Amino acid sequence: MGAAVAPPGIERDRRLDHRWPRVRAVVDTNVVAYYLLGTPGFASEAKGFWRRVVDPLAPALWEAEFANVVWMAARSGVVAPEDAPSKLDYAGQLGIHSIASRTLWRGALRRALESGVAAYDTLFVELADRESLPLATFDERLLASFPLIAKRPKTLGA
- pLDDT confidence of 142, banded at 50, 70, 90? very high
Which pTM was predicted?
0.86
Res 2 pLDDT > 50: no
Q: Tens digit of pLDDT for each residue in 4-32? A: 445 555 444 444 455 556 899 999 999 99
Q: Do 94 and 56 contact (CB within 8 A), yes or no?
A: yes
Nearest to 142 by CA among 155, 157, 123, 154: 123
* List of domains in the chain: 22-155 (3.40.50.1010)
Nearest to 126 by CA among 115, 139, 110, 140: 110
For residue 77, what is the DSSP state?
A: T
Let me know if 131 is exposed, middle or buried by CB neighbors in 10 A (0-12, 13-18, 19+): middle
Q: Do 75 and 97 contact (CB within 8 A), yes or no?
A: no
The pLDDT, as a whole number, for residue 18 is: 55
The least confident of 4-13, 78-87, 102-111 is: 4-13
Specify which residues 136 forms β-bridges with. 27, 151
- The count of other CB atoms within 10 Å of the CB of residue 6 is 12
Q: Do 66 and 91 contact (CB within 8 A), yes or no?
A: yes
